[in-house]
Amino acid sequence: MSISTPWNPGERVVTWEHDGVSARREFDEAPMAVAVWDTPPSVIVVEPQQPDGRLDNVVVLDPDGGERVRLQPPKLAGEPRWRLGYYAVYVSQGILTAVFQTTVGDFWGVPDLETGELTNVAQWR
């Protein structure tokens, strides 16, 4: 059975339902984006980018609300200071897609929700 979430931009609380069980997670700041994925069943939350340079700002949650993994930044050539963090995760043409921002351009890829690795990385613009 699939996961459903009624989350709206600006809300700090993300709630969802899976197999008749409700779960929720509250965040200090409103997430930038929330997506759900069925294989494996996951709620993916993009936390706001932080000035401290934390780049793993996407948390992948199990249906029960436990944290499974965080998406790691893509392996990119260049200076680490160019990297800002993720700002979007969404489903496009049936493919889960994550977008990572840098000061020299954005990159997208397909997240592995078990390992946190981003695969098939390509420049966004």
- pTM, two decimal places: 0.91
Q: Could you tell me the residue ranges of all domains in the chain?
A: 13-123
110-125: buried (b, 16+ CB within 10 Å) or exposed (e) per residue? ebebeebbbeebeeee
Tokens representing 75 are 């392996």
**Has residue 125 got a pLDDT over 70?**
no
Give CA–CA dist 60/72, Å, rounded: 11
Number of Cβ within a 10 Å radius of residue 92: 8
Q: What pLDDT digit, counting tens, does each position of 28-85 carry?
A: 999 999 999 999 999 999 999 987 778 999 999 999 999 999 999 998 766 666 888 9
Contact criterion met (CB below 8 Å) for 103 and 58: no
